[in-house]
Amino acid sequence: MAEQDTQVPEEVPGILHLDMDAFFASIEIRDDPSLQGLPVVVGGAGARGVVAASSYPARTRGIRSAMPMATARRLAPDLVIVPARIDHYRAVSQQVMALLGTVVAEREQISVDEAFLDVRGARRLFGPPAQIAALLRRRIREELGLPSSVGGSVSRAVAKIASAHAKPDGQLIIPAERTAAFLAPLPVSVISGIGPRAVAGLGDIGVRTVGQLLEVPVSALRRVLGPRTDDVVLLARGADRTGLGRRVRDKSLGTERTWDEDLTDPREVRRRITMMADDVARQLRASEFLARTVVLKLRSPDGATISRSSTFEHPTATGERLREHVVALWERERAGMPRVRLAGVRAMHLEPAATTPVQHELTARSAGWEDIEAAMDQARARFGTASLGRGSTLDPLTRQGQATSPDAEFP
């Protein structure tokens, strides 16, 4: 019995990265089979809408995520645009993650459609990593009707790169000894953290592939990448051995909106950010967090973006408190922002509501709002989201039983 469980065989590619294929689009196609084979995208149909997800038939026409919808329409005049149903996708996501949990205990969800799995412990029961990957993909296909891809490696970063190469509907396990050969010819942009800026900077010093990056003196890389250099080199070698962790908790939570037509009336801006503050406060209460700071984000038509933040005396999840601060920030900035293309409200520095002592701010004007808004939450839960809203945010156009969320007014 020389090999004990504690002696983990490092060279087994035991880290899997599972990535759902075209997740939002695949769900819509599954739910409406008449869309099968068509260039389907999920996203906003408005003038400033963009593609959130595209089916593979759409991709063969050159359509990509984050592409302006106008461009996508030009590429595919027969494009089918399906509005996003985020709550539905989140629910399906939970089903996927629950299914993974029946096979692999060690897992870390990293986004709505991706998870890392450490399958070293599951090998005795389910076989080598490639077999586990095949099992997971088959079950997701049979039980949820959705395609997925899996990459495997000794390294998280390489597993993620491998899953991208396995798409669509495939799997690719990279043995430890083949890691360098696999990475060398790939563009540096496959490394997480290397975005358009870094790609341009590396291109200036003649570095385009991962292999080239490893041949350049670290001092030259440091001038381009700064303090990230050591991490990038580690990832480029496929040498990261970060284990799986669980996200501790959310760091921030917010909402923002770009309008098809710029807002020019300061009162209208004020009304919109008031609704957003209420919406964010509702999200805080639903997730049982209090926020210490609230941020107002504004973008003018030329793309210039500013953020202005304000910190509360006591952490809060009350819409009235968020509104006070965010409106005050707006009043300070409105003179310099005659046209508003985007506005957003984000709550930061969250803490769990349960462990934060409740502050009854009896001297504040908003005293009592906590109770009122809690009652409104309950009423909403019973009668639906359309039943209640702040009086001042209702205008004649939306009063007729419409919901008061920002989305509701621009279907």
Write out the residues near DNA by the rule CB under 7 A.
44, 47-50, 52, 65-66, 68, 70, 110-114, 160, 189, 191-199, 226-227, 250-258, 283, 292-293, 303, 305-311, 341-342, 344, 346, 349
DSSP state at residue 280: H
CA distance 133 to 121: 14
Return the number of the residue (52 or 290) whose C-beta is nearest DNA.
52
Do residues 113 and 19 lie in contact, with contact meaning Cβ atoms separated by under 8 Å? yes
DSSP state at residue 130: H
Do residues 377 and 310 lie in contact, with contact meaning Cβ atoms separated by under 8 Å? no
Return the number of the residue (309 or 356) whose C-beta is nearest DNA.
309
DSSP state at residue 278: H
Do residues 253 and 346 lie in contact, with contact meaning Cβ atoms separated by under 8 Å? yes
Return the number of the residue (122 or 162) whose C-beta is nearest DNA.
162
Return the number of the residue (59 or 308) whose C-beta is nearest DNA.
308
Return the number of the residue (174 or 337) whose C-beta is nearest DNA.
337
Peptide bond into 168 cis (omega under 30): yes
CB 195, min distance to DNA, A: 2
SS3 72: helix
Return the number of the residue (74 or 138) whose C-beta is nearest DNA.
74
Question: What does 152-190 look like in DSSP terms, one character per residue?
Answer: EESSHHHHHHHHHHH-SS-EEE--GGGHHHHHTTSBGGG
CA distance 171 to 166: 5
Do residues 110 and 116 lie in contact, with contact meaning Cβ atoms separated by under 8 Å? yes
Point out the catalytic residue in the list 28, 114, 324, 361. Answer: 114
Do residues 191 and 209 lie in contact, with contact meaning Cβ atoms separated by under 8 Å? no
End-to-end Cα spacing for the chain: 66
Do residues 173 and 129 lie in contact, with contact meaning Cβ atoms separated by under 8 Å? yes
Q: Is 114 a catalytic residue?
A: yes
Question: What does 187-238 look like in DSSP terms, one character per residue?
Answer: BGGGSTT--HHHHHHHHHTT--BHHHHHHS-HHHHHHHHGGGHHHHHHHHTT
CB 167, min distance to DNA, A: 13
CB 259, min distance to DNA, A: 8
Return the number of the residue (122 or 233) whose C-beta is nearest DNA.
233
Helix/strand/coil percent split, the chain, to 5? 45, 20, 35
CB 53, min distance to DNA, A: 8
**Nearest 5°: phi and psi at 293?**
-135, 145
* Residues marked as catalytic: 114
